Structure 1
Amino acid sequence: MSNPVVTQQPGAGPYGTNVQTGDWSSGLCSCCSDLLVCAFGCFCPFPLACYAANKYGENPCLACVPGGMASMRTHMRLTYGIQGTLCNDALMTTFCGWCEICRMAREIRFRNGDIS
């Protein structure tokens, strides 16, 4: 009898369990839960997007790349086990862009323990 395989399966990585059972820590329009992010989202949306990308560990210029925030939203969902689809990620960042960037920034701050 041969020895059992004890290494990680192919495709397994640092992106959570790929079981999407969770939800975002705040709603799309829950700006009052973090007024600092809300103010930045209203008055300085591009710097907020750069801040969110940087805090998430990506290059801050990701906010300036077409589709960059949609790809970051997808990666966040996979990492945090949040339910959703690629189509939803693209639609939310395209049509609800600034509100979605605010929610992503709040999620990062929540996961880092900056807000409760």
Structure 2
Amino acid sequence: MAFQSNVVTSQTTQYTVTTGRFSDWNTNVCDCCEDCGICLCGAFIPCILGCKVAQDNGDSCCLPFLPGAMIALRTSIRSKYNIEGSVCDDWAVMACLPLCGLCQMAREQKMRG
């Protein structure tokens, strides 16, 4: 009984290239007073605002309570709306200005529907 082996000598590769323009955030991270309701919610009950932002993004309401999850949420929102930036930018904003970053995400979701 002889064994035959078929050796693959070439393999086709398929690349997907997406060309899209990056946009910017509609408001700056420190423009908290652009929407007074979001600003007050972010200042006094940020856990509620975090839950709303997560749910509006299609994530669990518990997401904001997990360590590091707000960075991932910001990255997800940035990707969803094709906003220019990096994970390092997201980390810097959420580490240094977490409430301002949260309010910025909420304003972005509200403006983009």
TM-score with structure 1 length normalisation?
0.78
1:18 is displaced (CA, Å) by 6.9
- Three-state SS of the structure 2 residue aligned to 1:24 is coil
How many corresponding residue pairs? Answer: 100
Residue identity opposite 2:101 in structure 1: E
Could you tell me how far apart the structure 2 residues matched to 1:57 and 1:11 are?
A: 26
Unaligned runs of 5+ in 1: 1-8
Residue identity opposite 2:32 in structure 1: C
TM-score with structure 2 length normalisation?
0.80
Percent identity of paired positions between Structure 1 and Structure 2:
36
Q: Label 1:18 to 1:29 Cα distance change in 2 as closer, same or farther (>3 A).
A: farther
1:76-87, aligned counterparts within 5 Å?
76-87=77-88
**1:111 corresponds to which residue?**
112
Residue identity opposite 1:87 in structure 2: C
Structure ID, larger Rg? 2
Unaligned runs of 5+ in 2: 1-13
1:32 is displaced (CA, Å) by 2.1
1:9-28, aligned counterparts within 5 Å?
17=18, 19=20, 21-28=22-29
1:1-116, aligned counterparts within 5 Å?
17=18, 19=20, 21-112=22-113
Could you tell me how far apart the structure 1 residues matched to 2:39 and 2:93 are?
A: 17
1:19 is displaced (CA, Å) by 4.0
Q: CA RMSD in A?
A: 1.9
